[in-house]
Amino acid sequence: MTAKHIVLIEDDREISTTLQAVLNNAGYRVTACNNGMDGQKAITSEKPDLVVTDMMMPRMGGFPVLEFLKTLDNPPKVIMVTANEGGRHKAYAEMLGVAAYLRKPFAMDLFLDTIANVLKDVEPSPPLKRRTKKS
């Protein structure tokens, strides 16, 4: 069975590195991006099973990523993580279709349980076919 693929969009290097390690150790395939623009490119090219995105980031935050996902025919599920305590932000994220919303700091077991619950009905994406160079 192919590992489920997660695009992680997080601008804080320490948080990103920690989350990548936790996800890799749990058996997920991870593509990490440090802003929403790079995240959109990864989502488009790699067609992940799940997107985990921070809300506040330079260049492009999480809300434009959610708005972009609404334009896709078969968007991946999304978990938004944020240190923002505002209730309006959570309501807007839910309106845009997030499957879960986690406030930082969160326990890693809660993070992994949330991912497992969101992905429980998602079939893993097939591995990308790589172009081979013709001799």
Domains of the chain, by residue range, sit at 5-119
Give tens-digit pLDDT for 72-119.
988 999 999 988 877 888 888 888 888 999 999 999 999 999 999 999
- Better-predicted residue by pLDDT, 92 or 16: 16
pTM summary value:
0.84
Q: Residue 60: left (phi > 0), alpha (psi -120 to 50), or beta?
A: beta
Q: Tell me how far apart the alpha carbons of residues 69 and 122 are, in angstroms, rounded to a whole number.
A: 17
The CATH H-level superfamily of 5-119 is Response regulator (3.40.50.2300)
